[in-house]
Amino acid sequence: MIRLENVALRYGRGPEILQSVNLHIRPGSFHFLTGPSGAGKTSLLRLLFMSMHPTTGIIYVFGQNATRISPGKRAQLRRRVGIVFQDFRLLDHLTTWENVALPLRVIGKRISDYKEDVTDLLQWVGLGDRMYSFPSILSGGEKQRAAIARAVIGKPELLLADEPTGNVDPQMARRLLRLFIELNRLGTSVIIATHDYELMKQFNTPRLELQDGKLQIADKLR
């Protein structure tokens, strides 16, 4: 599904954020991505989402060399990926419901085919009373849940989540983790960047750990 070969990344003339990263993400896998602040977790997720290019190395996404494909083809591949950004990136002129439904609308689905699914998902993440509110009046935690709902509504083949539980309480964090686990059970590969060790303990899987620009597989938490 995803393969990185000797990938390195630097911004401008600064030091390398990522160094000689090799990674193979298999279909149906589940990984937590950890590491100290500034280790490059967000940068790695952006590379996987094809929103930036590595300085050196090759990234294959769904069998395609992401560094060589056309912008149009890259956009098509992104439709197979769900992503949760730290800054939410909700569209201010759309309601919560419209933001969550947007990925399905973009691929041309009829509203009658997904209306109930969007409504049910928003109720499940605790936004039933905010469906028709605009992002400007949502709290940080509500925006976070809306962004997660938008990322998973289309049942993507790959889900990338950058600190998806950072703005919610522990009970909601556990609820959202169950959503990610269920999505994974249905076949989605999941990568969650997080500092929340209590969250990671609830789904004990080998971690991807970034340290000093290097990526390694860390032991399971005990």
Whole-Å CA distances, 205 to 1, 154, 162, 208: 19, 25, 18, 10
Report residue 150: phi and psi, to 5°: -65, -40
Within 8 A by CB and 6+ apart from 65, the residues are 58, 59
On the question of pLDDT at 90 being above 90, the answer is: yes
Q: Which CATH class name applies to 2-218?
A: alpha beta
Say if strands 158-162 and 189-193 run parallel, antiparallel, or are unpaired: parallel
Interval 161-203: pLDDT, tens: 999 988 888 888 888 999 999 999 999 999 999 988 888 888 8
Distance CA 193, CA 163 (A): 5
Q: What are residue 54's DSSP bridge partners?
A: none
Give me the pLDDT at residue 217, please: 83
Give me the pLDDT at residue 28, please: 93
Place of tokens 């998806």: 164
In contact, 1 and 158? CB cutoff 8 Å = yes
The residue type found at 16 is: E
Sheet containing strand 2-10, edge to edge, reads 16-25, 2-10, 56-61, 64-65
Mean pLDDT of 19-31: 94
Which of 28, 33, 27, 29 is CA-nearest to residue 47?
33
Give me the pLDDT at residue 5, please: 96
Report residue 112: phi and psi, to 5°: -65, -25
Mean pLDDT of 13-42: 92
Interval 94-122: pLDDT, tens: 999 999 999 999 999 999 999 999 999 99
Total Cβ atoms within 10 A of residue 106? 11
Comparing 55-59, 171-175, 193-197, 217-221, which segment has the lowest mean pLDDT? Answer: 217-221
On the question of pLDDT at 43 being above 90, the answer is: yes
Taking the domains of the chain in order of start, what are their residue ranges? 2-218
Total Cβ atoms within 10 A of residue 139? 11
